[in-house]
Structure formats: structure tokens, C-alpha cells
Structure 1
């Protein structure tokens, strides 16, 4: 098929090349073909045609997709025509072929018109065909952003007829653009006219094409689009468009991350480079949502070796293949092991001797761990203790624990186990040469088992979307943002700290569900029902970030804070953990929770028998507190 297209294009060019000379002679002699000049041309017709075809080939005129012909293809045609005709002029001069000089100038212009015209004819034909199609077969598109990106989106939509999308209007805040046309499509308003424009032009879908806009501007338009009940898609920000190119594959559905409008994290690249470059770095749980993103971020900073440790071979295999493809020079090792196996962990660290450990391996699902407390303790507490002790034994420079806001005043087993993990690293920091630190943050958007993928799946299935309580609020950040801040915190750590990441403003889960429904082109409670299921065991209405806000101090990074180190008696803590181990062996959930409460005084086990609500004025962090009798 490709060869046939090239042959067909060459055939058209042969006709165009020779027609150009015939027309030039005809025009030059006012409608009469001078036979003497015609004879000179015919004597050199093979050489002229062959030379031009070779030049056209070298200018890649036969590789361009002429159904998408644009100004770039026209520039190629102009350049090829100029070079080809200069060479022909030199050839004819050396051959002493006496054609009038004006013929060469006319042939150049005719070459551009005929060769270029053949490339644009098909696109014109497609545009005419597109214009007479039944409008009911096409989605009516509003493009927000009448800049370069918007124009490219328009071009892409027109070039891909299979999308069945018809751009009908632009919106842009620049008053100079209002009333103007971009390739035939009018700019009809600004940010204040989104709803009116959607109604007037019967818009089916909105595409936001503002990759370089400020976060607050994009967030404003997204909120306006929500009100329209139109399907909304978006062109990613400049930092996401790595290659700088805009095409239909880059236009994606709006993610809740776009709506939350979080600024891109600014990193101290020099500090991170000094922290990671040339070091052997181990990531436990390296195949999980957080662990795999940590591996991606670490690989950027040229570690001496990156070691991924995970018990789930499929996850580890996926991130291994991704990193090998992206970083050809990365020295990478994947180890299948569980942090529960003390002997295996000891063997691994003795062999690889990592200098930095990021400990992301953990059980994290609150309701599952509430029903399986022994497993939560085996993996989270004893698994962490195994890695901590091995790190001490083999002189690891720095150990970074990934913790959670659920460790603060925990009401569930998972949170209590993570608080014990924090206590372990702080107690070992005082008796070891290794610097042990923890980084605590809230929910990450899109992680395995998180609420966003669940909502999307429920919406795709037609609902209902399930929310545990209409008052429940959570703090969110993106996985890349969380991992970048974890690395930055690790770089600035000196040992014993618990770093607290700025999670921004809290978000109501009910609002989150409604936003996702609207941005998917549906109306909450009309097209997609929302079902309240009730709080699950161990679940809070709100999450806290700090144990003691008065002891929080700022760091050099505006999104990272420190909870001052607390001293723990290591011997006393180990005695408690030994007691916890016996409780796990008993397989009694009540015994396990009693020992957890003994180790973590702020742990208040979930007891749904008498739930008493204490109304608290909403302060931006808490809306409702829950206490138990």
C-alpha cells in the first residue's frame, strides 16, 4: 500500500513537471507553442524529470501524509521546487540548451502550484466531504483556548474524521480575539460565557486547550464546564507534554487532579541529585502505586543501582520493563521477596548493601486490615522491623518510611500499625548509625484501591456511585507529587524526623463523586445515582496529619513540615512488640487490638455500638468529629 502510494505520487509529479514546462512555453509565447523551444525541452525531458523526482524524494515529499497536508508540507514543496529548478537551470546552461530565462521563473511558480496542489487536493476533497456529512453523526465541540494549542486541536479534529467531532466555536479570555475566526471557527466569548455558548451552539463536548495556563485559570474553566453537563476533555499542561507536540492522543478525559488544581511541585534538583546520584537505592514494595512511582523518580537522578523488592512478581515485572525501556543506562535489579521473611531480608541486604532504603511495602486497605489485624501486623509492623534491623546491621546511610495520616490518633488497625512503624524508626534512630525518618501524607489520587478508580468504574457501569458518608472529607495529592516530596524530605533528613507533607485543602468525597459524574457528561442523581453506604469499620469522617501541631516546624521546602522527633525507649518498645507477637499467635482480634492500644495510647478501636457525633465548626480541616463510648 505504501509503495503504491509513492508510485502514484511520482506519477502525478511526472505529469505536473512536464505540464509546467508546456504551460510556461505556452504563456511565454502568448498562446503559441514554439516548436524549436519545444524540441529543446523534449531532448532533455528525461534528465529534467529524473532530476526533479530525485530532489523531491530527497526532500521527503513522498513520505508526508498528504491527507494531513498543511503549511509544513507546502514549505517542503516550495523548498524542493526551488532547489530542483536551480539544478535544472545549471544543467541546461552546461548543456548549452537555450531556453529563455523567463521560462525557468515561470516553471518554478508552476511547479509549486501543480506539485503542491496535487498534495492539497485530497485534503480539500476531505474537507468538502466532511462539510456535507449529516450533522447528527457528529459531536459538536467547543474549544476553550483560541491560542496555538487550540488551533492545533482544531486541526487534529478535522484531520481525524473517525472521531466524528465537529468544532463549532472557540472561547478565549483575550478580548482582541472575540469575533475573530480561526480557520473558519468563530471565537464567541470568554470565561463568563461558557454556559450560554454551550446552550446556544448545542455543544456536546468541551475540550480545554490551555496547556500553559495558570492552575487557577484551568480550574475555573473546569468548574464552569461541570455546570454545563457536557462531556469535558483536556489537553495536558506543558510539563506533561514532554515532546511539545499536540495530537488527538494527548487530549484526555479530565482527571480529578485537574479539578483540584494543585500546583506542580518545585524540587531542589541539586539536593536530590546529591542525595541519590551514584548511590545504591532499595525500594521495598517497589511494584505498588507509591513504590513504582518512587522508582520512576529515583531513576531520573542516576543512581548507581536501583533495587526493586516486591512479593508480587507481576507488579515488579511491569515497572522493570518500563524503566528498562525509558532508562537504557540504568543498572536495575528486581528481587522477589516478602518483608515478613527476616532471614530473606537479611540475606538481600547483606548481598546488595544499599545506601538508601525507601520502605513502601505495607498493607494499606483500612476495612480489610480491620478484619485481618494479624496480617496487618505481620506485614506492617514485623515487616518494617525486619527491614529496619537489617538496615542497622548493614550500615545503610538513610532509611525512609512511607507513613500515612491514618497513623495520627488512629481509629483503625492499619493506622495503629503504621504509628508503631513510626515509633520503631524513631527508637532505632537513637541507637543506630543509620538515619531513620518517616514521611507522612494522606490519600493519593489513582493509587491501587483508592476511591477515584472505584468511582470511575462505577460511573462506567451506570452507577450507583457509593459514598460511605456525605460528610466525609479527605486530603489528596497526586502520586508523582507525593513521591517527589518523599524524595525531597529524604534528602533533607538528618534522622528521627517525621516529615509532614502539605496536602492542601480538604475535599468532600461527596463533591468528588459529583464532580466525576459531571465531568463524565452525566448528571448526579439523574443519570448516575449516588448511594450512601455508611462508615466502614475503622473509618474516620476526617483525617488528621499531625500528632502535635505546636511542635510542627517549617523546612526549606514550602510543602514539607517536620514534627519534632520523639524519644522512645527501644527496649520497652521491643517488649511491647514481643507482646504483640504473642497476641498475633493467639489469633484473637480483641487481644491484638488491646495490645495495639497499649502500644499506641491514642489508638481508639472502632466500636460502632454507640456512635456519638460531636458537632464542630468547620475550620478548613475538620467538619465532624466522631467519638465512641
Structure 2
């Protein structure tokens, strides 16, 4: 509040100063024009013109100030003055002189004709000079204020974004200790030229060399339209320097043509993954949830909560958030009610393992569409508690799938994982059985049952990047299980887009699979994150290799070879052909498995192997 009042006072003071300056310049311009007409000698000016000048002095000043105010000459931030402000000044001065001519002629106070033209020219020059002088003085003072603590900046890209960035960095009072010293651009015709006095010193191959030659502290990637591949390649070069990396995200604010310093963010490891984001036109496919009752199990989790966000914006009749963790459920409930106060949201606490609870929810609300995201997903923890993995993942899914059939739901969408393919851990095997439940029920129910399979979700609870960040913040070391371990990655919005699109495409029995591009080495991910955090690998921070954990693979597969692939309308989303299996035998085996896990026997892995033939365990 104090800062706001101070800013208002400063604004008022600046305006008063400008108005007083303009009063002098307005009257000085007319007087100078008269003197020019009479060889710059006041004594030679006819007394009638001196008299007319004096009589119209005050009205002319008031009229001019009013015109300037209406043309918003006093509303601009002159530290950012540009061609647009110059146009405003010319417009205001032309209007002023036209009024000057008309009024003096009408009142019989006409001056020599050349005086009007000259006074108009002088007014434009003097008013423009007074405004742009502020920018010049500020720039000069800033150049003298450079100290040993000055942040020396290299900008990648010599386009419109860089043009505006250099100007804003130069003029911002909050960045007095920052200075752009060089620019990099891949276009040969730009190299050697200047932007606002800053030289374009070379292409991307010069980044490392120039970071040393120009003693660079910070590199800003300012090519909003760059492809993901180009961005990744350039940032991979930048991260080999010792500079802090920042980036302008996406194609932004082109409506105004303006760039704000606040849009610059630190480079994130996501920028280095090198895959184009999955684009799904959600609005065109989400008509199927409108006016429907939608149930999201595990609705407080990373995927479940994002599903709720996307669904609620498409006007369901009712959204039911079902989760066993009350804090997570409460957080997403409050967020959605803030953003969509008109939405009909029901938040329920309970476990999918509780058959009676699930039955009562379906009986009361009769959901049309179910997104089943509730699951135990941590591989090492489930290896230590295999019975719990089966109880929650398999029989929780079975409970919800049964009720979807019993109460006539339209669609049931299961969230699955790439770990279900040729599983080597109990979590993956449990999710493969969930997929088999979906396939089995689809064959005997009017409900459309589908599964959605994807890889690791960046930023989700328990995922690798938040873990690495915590380890780095704690001073290291960063733990990686194996030098060669690789994983497929996707963002939470991408995962949710796939799930929602699967619901739209679902005809029953499909396993939808995302083409996630090339897998990423976890070791490279850790090294990149260390560098992006400002540390030098092997000096400030180390990586510790701990060995593969029980049930962990070096690599994950997205589908079994015998499943084959079918394309969908979205070329990055595919359908795996379901494998055939004996459904009756499958359900008999599930009955035996259920008894075993609830009796807490230690035979669960052997029994799971009898159901999932591709499951391998040591």
C-alpha cells in the first residue's frame, strides 16, 4: 500500500513537471517562430503581432494542454518511448496548430502565415526532445552505473522479442545492474549487425566461446517460435557454459507486440526433453461429458486432479471426486470451486477396495462416465508390499468396473502404464491385470471399457524430477539407479489429454497408447538438472549410482509386440490390439488370488505369474 501511494505521488510530480515544461515550450515555440520571421530580432517584430501574441498567450496555452491531455501525451511511460509516442506528439501538435490558425483568424488576432508553420515544427521538435531526452539521460546514467556486480547478458535470437527485451532491460529501473552485451543468431545475414547498439556476434557455434570472451553471467533464450528440437539443441550448448539460463516460453503476447521481463523464466529440464508437445483439441472432443455425471477415482492425485480440472470446464452435470486421501481431495475441490463457482462438484472420501462404499456411490449418483485413476504406483514400495498392490490396483479396479456394468455407465476409462508391458514388477503386473479386467468386462457389458497406457509423468507425485530437485536443494548427491536406465516421459497435461481423447474415441476394449518419441536417459536428466540449477557436476554436486531396485527395468516398453498397432485420427495416439485370453478362467483365478492376498500369504507372485504369462520376477 505504501509503495502504491509513493508511485502515485511520483506520477503526479512527473506530470506537473511535464506540464510546466510544456507551457514554456508552447509559448517559446510561437515566440521563436515570430523571431525567425523577423531575422531573429525582437525589435523588428511589428507591435501589433507582439500584442496579438500576448493577448492569445493564455488561451493558446490552455487549448494546447487540453489537446495534449486528450491525446494522452501525459499518460505515456516515457522511459519506454518509441515511434508510437512520436506519432502521438505529431498528431497533438498538428491539431494544436490547426486550432491556433482557426482561432486567431476568427478573433482577428492573426499572425504572419509563416509563423504558424514554424511554430508547429518547433513545437513538435521541442516536445519530442523533452520526452526522448529522458530516455537518453537514463541510458547514459545506466552505462556509468555498471559495476563489478553487473549481470552481463547474452541473448539467443535476434528477432522482435530480442528487440523489445533489450529495450526493456535497458530502461527498467529494477534491472540497473543488468546489461545485454551480445546477441547470438543463426542467420548469417544478421551476424555482425547491431540491435540497439548490441552486436550480433555469431551463430550457436559461438555460444561457448562468446560466453567466455564477453564474461557472460546469464543467457536468455528469446526465440519464442523455435521448434522443440532447435530449442533443445541450443539449450544443450548453453548448459555447457557456466551461465544461468533463462527462457521466454512459447509464442506469447504477440497481440500487443510486447514482451515483459516477468515472462522470462529459468530454463527447466522439460525444455531439454526434445519432443513436441502432444496437441489435442480438447474443446472439440469433450462434448461427451457435457450434462453427464462424471466420476474420477483417485481424483486428488496428479493425474486425477488434472482430469477434474479439464472435465469441470466442459460443463458436466455433476463431477464426483472420489479419493481416500482427504487432504488431496479437499485441495482440488477448493481449487475447482474457486475457478468454477457454478460447477456441481461432489467430493467423497473412501477406498475403491471397499465394495460396499463403491456400490453405494454408484447407486446414489449413477455416474455416466468413470475415469479410474486410483492406484498404488510406486514400484519399489509395491515390491515390498505385493499384497497391497493387488488389493488396491486389481480388486479396486474390479470393484469399480463391476459397478459401472451394474449401474449402466456409458464409459469406463482405466489409467494404465507402460510398466504393464512384459512386467518385471508387481505394480506393472497388477496394472496388466487391470487391463485384462477392462477387456473382459467390455465383452459382456453395454459399457464401453478402455485403458490408456503411457509412460512416466513429469511433475507427478513421486516422479523423478521432484526427487532430483529435493536432493539438489539438500546439497546432493543425486541418486540414479543405473548409468543406462531410460524412460519415456510426458507432462501431466499430455497424459490427461490422452485420457480424455481415449474417452472420446472409445468403442470398447481398446488399449490406447501415446507415441512419446525417443526415451530419455535418467542419467542425462540428472546431469542436466544439476547444470540448470547452477552447479558443476563433480565439483559442486555428484551423482551416486545405487543399482537397479527390485523389479526395475533398464527400459520400459509401451506395448507387447504381438499386440500390433492401429492408428487413430490423432497420429500420435495409437490403439493396441487386445490379446485374447480365457475370460472365465481369468475370473476364477482372480477369485483364488483375492483369497490369497487377503489371507496375507506369500504366494502372490506365483499366482500372478499364472494369470499374466509375460510377468517375470526373480
Same fold (TM over 0.5): yes
Correspondences of 1:597-612 after superposition (within 5 Å): 597-605=609-617
User: How many angstroms does 1:307 deviate by?
Assistant: 4.2
Pairwise mapping of residues 270-309 of structure 1 onto structure 2 (< 5 A)? Answer: 272-299=285-312, 301=314, 303-309=316-322
Give the CA deviation at 1:240.
9.8
Aligned to 1:623: none
Aligned pairs for 1:163-562 (under 5 A) are 163=175, 164-238=177-251, 245-267=258-280, 272-299=285-312, 301=314, 303-320=316-333, 323=336, 331-340=343-352, 341-549=354-562, 551-562=564-575
Q: Secondary structure at the match of 2:202?
A: coil
Q: Give the CA deviation at 1:145.
A: 0.4
Residue 98 of structure 1 corresponds to which residue in structure 2?
110
Task: Indicate yes or no: 2:39 matched with 1:27.
Answer: no
Note closer, same or farther for the CA distance 1:82–1:343 as it changes in structure 2 (3 Å cut).
Answer: farther
Three-state SS of the structure 1 residue aligned to 2:148 is helix
Which residue number corresponds to residue 624 of structure 1?
Answer: none
Per-residue CA deviations over 1:41-93 (Å, capped at 9, x if unaligned) read 55445544444444444444444333333344444444444445545555555
Matching of residues 142-153 of structure 1 within 5 Å:
142-153=154-165
SS of structure 2 residue aligned to 1:176 = helix
In structure 2, relative to structure 1, the CA distance for the partners of 1:118 and 1:417 (3 Å cut) is: farther
CA distance in 1, matches of 2:425, 2:511: 20
State the Cα deviation string for residues 207-257 of structure 1 (Å, max 9, x = none).
111111222222221222132232222211227989875222221222222
Runs of 4+ in 1 over 6 A off after TM superposition: 239-244
State the match for 1:625 in structure 2.
Answer: none
- The Cα of 1:487 is off from its aligned counterpart by 2.2
In 2, the alpha carbon distance for the partners of 1:52 and 1:295 equals: 58
Which residue of 9, 12, 22 maps to 1:7?
Answer: 12
Separation (CA, whole Å) in 2 of partners of 1:324 and 1:106:
64
Unaligned runs of 5+ in 2: 1-5
> Does the CA-based 8 Å contact 2:315-2:343 persist in structure 1?
no
Distance verdict in 2 for CA 1:42–1:291, change over 3 Å: farther
For 1:279 and 1:372, the matched residues in 2 are separated by 37
Q: TM-score, normalised by structure 1?
A: 0.87
Q: Give the unaligned 5+ runs of structure 1.
A: 606-627
Does the aligned pair in 2 maintain the 1:140–1:204 contact within 8 Å?
A: yes
Task: Provide Cα deviations, 1:532-575, integer angstroms capped at 9, x if missing partner.
Answer: 12222322221122133453333332212222123455554444
Distance (Å, rounded) in 2 between the aligned partners of 1:93 and 1:314: 79
CA distance in 1, matches of 2:234, 2:323: 42
Count of aligned residue pairs for this structure pair = 604
How far does residue 324 in structure 1 lie from its aligned partner after superposition? 5.5
Alpha-carbon RMSD? 3.0
For residues 242 and 302 of structure 1, the distance between their equivalents in structure 2, rounded to whole angstroms, comes to: 29
Q: TM-score, normalised by structure 2?
A: 0.88
Distance 1:202 1:263 in 2: 33
1:114-167 Cα shifts (integer Å, max 9, x gaps) = 444444444333322221124421222111100111222222322335443221
Match of 2:605 in 1: 593
Structure 2 residue corresponding to 1:126, chosen from 113, 135, 138: 138
Relative to structure 1, the CA distance from residue 90 to residue 359 in structure 2 (aligned partners, 3 Å threshold; closer, same or farther) is farther
Cα distance in structure 2, aligned partners of 1:584 and 1:292: 30
Q: Secondary structure at the match of 1:524?
A: coil
